[in-house]
Amino acid sequence: MDFKQLYLSIDGRINRSTFWLKFVLPVVIVSIVINIIAGVMMGSDPNNPNMAGFAILGIWQLILIYPSICVYGKRWHDRDKSAWWILIGLIPLVGPIWVLVECGFLKGTEGPNRFGEDPLAGA
């Protein structure tokens, strides 16, 4: 699956390894780097924080919105559920845990489903 299909299209399915290795891991690594840069930019004086660091964090979060919807939508599709299930993550405390378990740890539907072919069929 190419970059455009993975991050910019909600159609299709992806397996757990694609989810972890091509989305979660890169996002975590880049987020750590961005947080370090933002922290350095903000400085250590709590009375005079540099707002550019906050701006960088905000821009990074905005950049992640659409690709996250696409990738999580494909994981929900692999579980044979509508991408609307992404919204369950908005429920405080329980929602994000549910999304992590469903999308990160539970196996997808074997064989084709209404959202496409099994991503493991060729593996």
How confident is the prediction along the chain (123 residues), in pLDDT tens digits per residue?
Answer: 899 999 999 999 999 999 999 999 999 999 999 999 998 888 777 777 778 888 999 999 999 999 999 999 999 999 999 999 999 999 999 999 999 999 999 999 999 999 999 999 876
Residue among 7, 28, 9 nearest 116 (CA): 9
Residue 123 has what pLDDT? 61
Residue 53 has what pLDDT? 86
Residue 6 has what pLDDT? 97
58 membership: H or E segment, kind and range: helix 51-78
Please tell me the pTM assigned to this model: 0.91
Residue 46 has what pLDDT? 74
Query: Helix 25-42 to helix 51-78 angle, to the nearest 10 degrees?
Result: 170
Residue among 64, 55, 62 nearest 37 (CA): 55
With the C-alpha atoms ordered 80, 92, 34, 36, is the resulting torsion angle positive or negative? negative
Report, in angstroms and rounded to the nearest whole number, the Rg of the chain calculated over CA atoms. Answer: 17
- Rounded to whole angstroms, how far apart are CA atoms 53 and 10? 31
Residue 44 has what pLDDT? 74
